[in-house]
Chains A and B, each alone.
Chain A
Amino acid sequence: MEEDPVLDILTQKFPDAVAERKTWKDERTAVVLREKLVEVCLFLRDDPRLSFNTIIDICGVDYLGEEPRYEVVYHLLSIPSARRIRLKVRVAGDDPRVPSVTSVWAGAEWPEREIYDMFGVAFEGHPDLRRILMPDDWQGHPLRKDYPLGGIEPWSERY
Chain B
Amino acid sequence: MAVAQTLTINMGPQHPSTHGVLRVVLELEGETVLRAVPYIGYLHTGIEKEAEYKTYNKALTMTDRLDYLACNNNNMAFVLPVEKLLELEIPKRAQQIRVMMCELSRLASHLAWLGTHALDMGAITPFFYCFREREMILDMFDMTAGARMTPSYIRVGGVAGDLPDGLMEKLKKFLKIFPGKLDEYEALLTKNKIWMMRTKGVGRISAEDGMNLGLTGPSLRACGVRWDIRKAQPYSGYDEYEFEIPVGANGDVYDRYLVRIQEMRQSARILEQRADGLAPGPVKAKAVKVTPPPRELLHGSMEALINHFIIFSRGYQVPAGEAYVPTESPKGELGFYFVSDGTEKPYRMHIRAPSLMNLQALKKMVQGRLVADVVAIIGSLDIVLGEIDR
> A82 on the interface (CB 8 Å rule)?
yes
Which A residues are CB-close (under 8 A) to B324? Answer: 27, 75, 86
Q: Which of B53, B214, B233, B350 contacts A107 (CB 8 A)?
A: B214
> A1 on the interface (CB 8 Å rule)?
no
Q: Is the CB of B348 within 8 A of A110?
A: no
Q: Which of A53, A59, A133 contacts B389 (CB 8 A)?
A: A133
Q: Is the CB of B49 within 8 A of A143?
A: yes
Q: Is the CB of A53 within 8 A of B53?
A: no
> A56 on the interface (CB 8 Å rule)?
yes
Q: How far is the CB of B11 from chain A (nearest CB, A)?
A: 18
Residue of B nearest to A88 (CB): B322
Q: How far is the CB of A150 from chain B (nearest CB, A)?
A: 10
Q: How far is the CB of B227 from chain A (nearest CB, A)?
A: 5
Considering only CB atoms and an 8 Å cut-off, how many residues of chain B contact the other chain?
40
Beta-carbon contacts of A132-144 to B below 8 Å, as 1s and 0s?
Answer: 1111000000110
Q: Is the CB of A61 within 8 A of B339?
A: yes
From A59, A73, A84, A86, residue with most partner B Cβ within 10 Å: A59
Which B residues are CB-close (under 8 A) to A54? Answer: 211-212, 214, 216
Q: Is the CB of B46 within 8 A of A75?
A: no
> B27 on the interface (CB 8 Å rule)?
no
> B357 on the interface (CB 8 Å rule)?
yes
Q: Is the CB of A82 within 8 A of B233?
A: yes
- Which residues of A approach B to under 8 Å, CB–CB? 24-25, 27, 29, 53-57, 59, 61-62, 73, 75, 77, 79, 82, 84, 86, 105-111, 118, 131-135, 142-143, 147, 149
Q: List 29 A-B contacts (CB under 8 A).
A: A25-B84, A25-B323, A27-B323, A27-B324, A53-B212, A54-B211, A54-B216, A55-B214, A56-B335, A61-B347, A62-B348, A73-B350, A75-B324, A77-B333, A79-B211, A79-B225, A82-B232, A86-B324, A105-B212, A105-B214, A107-B357, A108-B214, A109-B360, A133-B40, A133-B44, A133-B390, A135-B41, A142-B49, A143-B49
